Amino acid sequence: MTSAYFTRDHEYVRVDGDIGVVGVTDYAQSQLGDIVFIELPQVGQRIAKGEQLATVESVKAASEVFSPVSGEVVEVNGAIDESPAIVNEDALGAGWFVKLRLSDADELAGLLDEAGYEAHVQSL
């Protein structure tokens, strides 16, 4: 069963077992505008919660994306490397950034669930 968690900074992680699929939310991509480049980490790289995971460049600005959880990068989304606009089209689906093998599932407790995230976005 997959569970989704969100940060107040508009990153998400969908967890299935010990693998977390990480990306930015639809709200984040809408604020960024047309995404033209994404710099992703290398497979095998260890990322700590709150550490920079990726850099996203859009027609508006460059933004850092921070990891909502700690883990080891086990896969990167090559499709968004070739076509970054996928993130604008389907941020929560095909526009994922990386898959991490979670190193501490307890970190998920500090994140928002979907209802909590929606309430946060509505308050902005």
pTM: 0.95
Between CA 69 and CA 80, with CA 74 as vertex, the angle to 5 degrees is 90
Sign of CA dihedral 12, 17, 19, 21: negative
Residue whose structure tokens are 């979670």? 102
Q: What pLDDT was estimated at residue 85? A: 96
Q: In what helix (H) or strand (E) does residue 16 lie, and over which residues does it extend?
A: strand 11-16
Q: What pLDDT was estimated at residue 22? A: 98
Model pLDDT for residues 42-98, shown as the tens digit of each residue: 999 999 999 999 999 999 889 999 999 999 999 999 999 999 999 999 999 999 999
Among 20, 22, 2, 6, smallest CA distance to 110 is for: 6
Structural domains for the chain = 3-115 (2.40.50.100)
Q: Is residue 1 scored above 70 in pLDDT?
A: no
Q: Are 13 and 111 in contact (CB under 8 A)?
A: yes
Model pLDDT for residues 5-27, shown as the tens digit of each residue: 999 999 999 999 999 999 999 99
CA 48 to CA 43: how far, in whole Å?
A: 14
Average pLDDT of the chain, as a whole number: 96
> DSSP states of 86-120 as a string?
HHHH-TTTTT--EEEEES-GGGGGGSB-HHHHHHH
Q: How many CB atoms lie within 10 A of CB 37?
A: 12
